A and B are shown apart, each in its own frame.
Chain A
Amino acid sequence: GAGVSQSPSNKVTEKGKDVELRCDPISGHTALYWYRQSLGQGLEFLIYFQGNSAPDKSGLPSDRFSAERTGGSVSTLTIQRTQQEDSAVYLCASRGVLNTGELFFGEGSRLTVL
């Protein structure tokens, strides 16, 4: 498709399990962001990738969270030893080279930790 694609759309897991969330950005977009949105809350910045540069990981809430972006395209957000407070919608967004400023979001991955 032409938009940002995220999978899975829904994930239910047990506390202590690891989860992987995937983001496939718009083709040619060099910038990729991960955000987290808890119920009724705003978007919390997690991590930013730009091309082959070192990512800005300053928003990752703990060392249980990590992300990578392979080949400058697909990104995976990994949460180890999930906790109930990790339950949220994880949103991925990409932005084009020309930096019009517009972020294009995927539909998100809704994570529920039981």
Chain B
Amino acid sequence: RKEVEQDPGPFNVPEGATVAFNCTYSNSASQSFFWYRQDCRKEPKLLMSVYSSGNEDGRFTAQLNRASQYISLLIRDSKLSDSATYLCVVSLRGVGTYKYIFGTGTRLKVLA
């Protein structure tokens, strides 16, 4: 089983639609949680951190359920510019290390 699992998609949605992505992680000791965005042939960039209480940044809402080891990202009123791959990331502290473990990503394509 992969440490971080995501539906690869692609999700093809019309402009203005609401779309949700899910992610599960296997290690209950995971400490911090993030969504990164990666455009085609570009480096990943932080979209938002994810907190247990849930958090919102404009059209983006992230949720974390530690009991179910589940993270979600909701995008409202999607724009053409939202087309990208969305990477679910968890961090894990170990002896002498602090790793960021990436999911394989969910591709989103917003259609005009």
Question: Taking beta carbons and an 8 Å cutoff, which residues of A are in contact with B?
Answer: 31, 33, 35, 41-43, 45, 48, 50, 53-54, 56, 58, 91, 93, 99, 101-103, 105-108
Contacts and interface: CB of A to CB of B under 8 A. Distances in A.
Nearest to A42: B104
A56 B96 CA distance: 7
Say which size band chain B's interface belongs to: 20 to 34
Contacts of A93: 100
8 contacts: A48-B99, A50-B98, A56-B97, A91-B44, A102-B46, A102-B49, A103-B46, A106-B43
A18 B92 CA distance: 32
Contacts of A35: 102
A94 B42 CA distance: 16
Q: Which 6 A-B pairs have the closest CB atoms?
A: A42-B104, A56-B97, A105-B43, A43-B102, A102-B46, A101-B32
A61 to B, nearest CB: 16
Nearest to A107: B43
A56 B98 CA distance: 9
Contacts of B104: 41-42
